[in-house]
Amino acid sequence: MRQISYREALHEVLDYELQINPDVFLLGEDIGPLGGAFGVTTGLWQKYGNERVRNTPLSEIAIVGAATGAASVGMRPVAEIMFCDFLFVAGDQLINQTAKMRYMFGDQCQLPLVIRTVIGAGQSAAAQHSQSLEGLLAHIPGFKSVIPSTPYDAKGLLKTAIEDNNPVLFYEHKSLYNMKGEVPEEMYSIPFGVADVKRKGKDVTVIATAEMVHKSLRVADRLQKEGIDVEIIDPRTLVPLDMDTIINSVKKTHKAVVVHEAHLSYGPGAEIVARLADEAFDYLDAPLKRVGAKDVPIPMAPHLESFVIPQEEDIYKAIKSVVD
């Protein structure tokens, strides 16, 4: 099978949906002639024009407000918010309008809206451009939250997101854009709420998201040489969350570690750990462990940034603490 990058996988879906569905349009800052801050929309403005690929002012509240209004009357907008750090400039639109309109209008309108945004550190972009905030809006009923870790997942999940009739938050880790993987040429969808077992194992379950999936896989290879067999589960969507796959793994391994780049306190791992405690406590033979970023703003200096965000050694120590 051919190998393409995470960026190219996303681009293929946007190109396809623009081609087959006249209700789909893109909007966001710099997504036109420049192709977006991370190059995902390169060439689409030239191919589809201003009506379908709309450069917007530097106003997140305008982007989200326009997308929400367009979706409420039957369009299928795909909005790009350059960094997830800027989502909360449009906080009132998101939390009090986008998430609630379908409910408050008694399902008289659907809201087929996708908001693509970028998460993650690792590039010395400092405290206002490096956060992983996927857990914050997962707390708000009305959103679906998607967080792909591979080019294959990015393509299948974005297609599902664009064709969904509810608001979808689609989180892309900036360090994954250049990563290549096997991706079919044909279009396909990956259903929401279906986790993927990235690596089978019998000794401990690791639940990881985004770039942490790949760090965990490397740690698992290291631990295999020590006789520890690690199973790695990628939820792929935080809302809906596939607890069945996670619990079935824990029933087998009897141990669990949750790894994410979001800050540790009140992060998405806290929800997963709480639900494991509620729903799978009798199967656990060791304390549940979480690995996340330290509870400080993300520094710009590379050595400080590396200290704050989870590294392979942090994951290794957490796994060892539950299996030893």
> What sections of 188-287 are H helices per DSSP?
211-224, 243-253, 268-279
Give the residue-averaged pLDDT of 198-224.
Answer: 98
The answer to whether 9 touches 154, Cβ cutoff 8 Å, is yes
**Topology adopted by domain 3-182:** Rossmann fold (3.40.50)
Number of Cβ within a 10 Å radius of residue 282: 6
Identify the pLDDT of residue 104: 94
Rounded to an integer, what distance in angstroms lies between the CA atom of residue 25 and that of residue 143?
20
Q: Mind telling me the catalytic residues?
A: 129
The pLDDT score that the predictor gives to residue 324 is: 86
pLDDT given for residue 303 in this prediction: 96
- Tell me the Cα Rg of the chain: 19
Summarize pLDDT for 240-299 with one digit per residue, the tens.
999 999 999 999 999 999 999 999 999 999 999 999 999 999 999 999 999 999 999 999
From-to residues of CATH 3.40.50.970 in the chain: 3-182
Q: For residue 28, is it left (φ>0), alpha (ψ between -120 and 50) or beta?
A: left
Cα four-point dihedral sign 295, 309, 38, 95: negative
196-323 CATH fold: Rossmann fold (3.40.50)
Q: Report the relative pairing of strands 289-293 and 144-146 from DSSP bridges.
A: unpaired
pLDDT, tens digit, 9 for 90 and up, residues 135-175: 999 999 999 999 999 999 999 999 999 999 999 999 999 99
Task: Give the SS3 label for residue 157.
Answer: helix
Sequence-distant (6+) residues with CB within 8 A of 251 are 280, 283
Q: Would the pTM of this model clear 0.95, i.e. be above it? A: yes
- CA–CA gap between residue 13 and residue 160 (Å, rounded): 10
Asked if pLDDT for residue 90 goes beyond 90, the answer is yes
| pLDDT score at 188 | 98
What is the model's pLDDT at position 1? 87
Phi, psi (degrees; rounded to nearest 5) at 253: -95, -25
| Torsion angle, alpha carbons of 134, 166, 140, 157, to 10 | -20
Mean pLDDT of 207-232: 98
At 250, the amino acid letter reads V
CA distance linking residue 133 with residue 276, whole number of Å: 22
Tokens 């986790």 correspond to 195
Ranges of CATH 3.40.50.920 domains, the chain: 196-323
